[in-house]
Amino acid sequence: MSDTLLAIYLGESYAELELRAKDSTSTKEPLFKKSFFLPQTSLKAILQQQIKPLIETGVNITSVYVVTKYLDRLKSFRLGGSVVQVLNHDQENNYVFQNSSKLSLAASSLIISIKDHFEASHLSSELERIKKINPEAKKVVISLKNMPIEKLQSIETFFKENMFTVFVNQFPDSMESLRRTLINAGAEGTKEEIVTEIKELAPNAEILFWVNSEFKKTFENIDLFFSADSFLNHTLLLNKKNILIHTDLERWIILKNKYCDVWNSPWGDIHYSHLQTHQLGIHPFSEVFINGSGHLSFSQQPAAIEPGPMLAGRSVKPLVVDAFYQVIAKNKNLNQMFSQLTQTPLCSKIDSQFKVLEKGQIHYEDPLTIDIVQDFIINKLGYDILLFKLKEESFEWTGHLNILFEKLNGHLTEFTWTDEIFKRATNV
């Protein structure tokens, strides 16, 4: 049986996985390496269909290293739909007095109000009530002021005995602390989904997530919202650069080694030190269309991950990234993600759609062809880079779509998350 290490990058819309022998060098061919567009599959399906057959041949995964941006999927949702809250009487939902325009972190029907003097039977009856409302509720946030330690412990024990994951707000006088605890509880299900799917594949493997500046086994769930950015920042520092440009399927950004103390989260402001990022150019998922004046335009808001770009074979609306389908089709890592690009019908469909856009421009003697659209997108990103007054030797350029911008930098090297993960994993 051969010992191996598994590296996983799990983004919002795509994943990269690589399996290497534990004693392997970076020049040795990996046992498995591939990228996937997630709306067309899932982490569980990838692990079971692609990695499990290798385990059945005698491969033993000893450690799994995860960098993620997957929790960003939660940012458009209320997180408290399955989270029970235990609060002091008359303090229910008090955190919404601040940032009330933000997404909710609580379901009022799942709040248990506790008076100074309460009986154990009160918890039992309240739990029965909640089970009728939401049988899936298995997480609880306890935020109680001036509660004797023995009573607080009895409440924790009660919920643990009923198979709840317990989150205790250590600073119940702080609305912000309650908000942070609720985010940790609300994100627990997504984190556990990732962990469970890995454990189903490799039950004895050590699972580590990138948090701040290293791979860790224990952390707050809130940390995972910044896993990818902190990993990129480590790449910046490792390569002794001042600024990092990152261009992948999900975002085109510039990142400096500068931190912001307050996270303006979708659920309200939280004091959480995190890296600052700035968007560059046009979003890769912006729709390309003809506006009411007959001009070629780009949508301000990116399109949804599903159905995604035409590259994925489902959408009929061209996005910015679709303009580069010919370059993407020739790249080994990217055409794995969009395998239908190897088929003529999809390429013809994308090309036809851009020709429709070309003919729809009524105010140009020479309409913008797909090649001119590409140049415009590249030049727009280049202009934004100039605004930061960057010197070429001062920045690092990462992201699997950096190959689209060779006109701006002739020294770009191919980037994969898993290659970078293994550089760190060897030091764990």
Beta strand 32-37 with 14-21 is antiparallel
CA distance 394 to 305: 33
Closest CA to 266 of 362, 182, 368, 390: 182
Q: Which domain holds residue 138?
A: 80-186
CA distance 322 to 327: 10
Closest CA to 4 of 50, 64, 46, 47: 64
- Helix ranges, 187-280 (H): 188-201, 227-238
My answer on whether 132 and 93 are in the same domain is yes
Backbone angles phi, psi at 42, to 5 degrees: -145, 165
My answer on whether 157 and 231 are in the same domain is no
CA distance 246 to 388: 14
**Residue 114: inside a domain, yes or no?**
yes
Pairwise pLDDT comparison (365 vs 261), residue with the higher score: 261
My answer on whether 99 and 180 are in the same domain is yes
My answer on whether 53 and 200 are in the same domain is yes
The number of folded domains in the chain is: 2
CA distance 243 to 277: 10
**Residue 376: inside a domain, yes or no?**
no
Q: How confident is the model at residue 93 (pLDDT cuts 50, 70, 90)?
A: low
User: What pLDDT shows up at residue 104?
Assistant: 76
CA distance 414 to 109: 51
Q: How confident is the model at residue 363 (pLDDT cuts 50, 70, 90)?
A: low
Q: How confident is the model at residue 421 (pLDDT cuts 50, 70, 90)?
A: very high
The three-class DSSP label of residue 184 is: helix
CATH number for 103: 3.40.50
CA distance 381 to 408: 9
Mapping DSSP onto H, E and C, the string for 120-132 reads HHHHHHHHHHHHH
**Residue 177: inside a domain, yes or no?**
yes
CATH number for 421: 3.30.420.40
**Residue 67: inside a domain, yes or no?**
yes
My answer on whether 194 and 69 are in the same domain is yes
My answer on whether 194 and 68 are in the same domain is yes
CA distance 341 to 355: 18
My answer on whether 54 and 109 are in the same domain is no
pLDDT at 391 over 70: no
pLDDT in tens, 204-250: 999 999 999 999 999 999 999 999 999 999 988 888 888 899 999 99
Distances (CA, A) of 224 to 141, 278, 328: 19, 19, 29
CA distance 83 to 380: 44
pLDDT at 97 over 50: no
Locus of tokens 């982490």: 43
CA distance 22 to 61: 9
- Beta carbons of 76 and 55 less than 8 angstroms apart: no
Task: State mean pLDDT over 179-196.
Answer: 95
Contacts of 158 (CB under 8 A, 6+ apart): 120, 123
Closest CA to 178 of 265, 96, 258: 96
**Residue 122: inside a domain, yes or no?**
yes
My answer on whether 162 and 93 are in the same domain is yes
**Residue 332: inside a domain, yes or no?**
no
CA distance 160 to 139: 10
My answer on whether 51 and 178 are in the same domain is no
**Residue 303: inside a domain, yes or no?**
no
Q: How confident is the model at residue 365 (pLDDT cuts 50, 70, 90)?
A: low
CA distance 6 to 61: 7
My answer on whether 194 and 182 are in the same domain is no
Q: How many CB atoms lie within 10 A of CB 1?
A: 8
CA distance 24 to 33: 14
pLDDT at 332 over 80: yes
My answer on whether 180 and 221 are in the same domain is no
Distances (CA, A) of 123 to 118, 129, 420: 9, 10, 49
CA distance 137 to 140: 8
**Residue 358: inside a domain, yes or no?**
no
My answer on whether 48 and 114 are in the same domain is no
- Domain end: 154, 186, 218, which one? 186
pLDDT in tens, 27-50: 578 999 999 999 889 999 999 999
Q: Give, rounded to a whole angstrom, the gap between the first and last alpha carbons of the chain.
A: 22
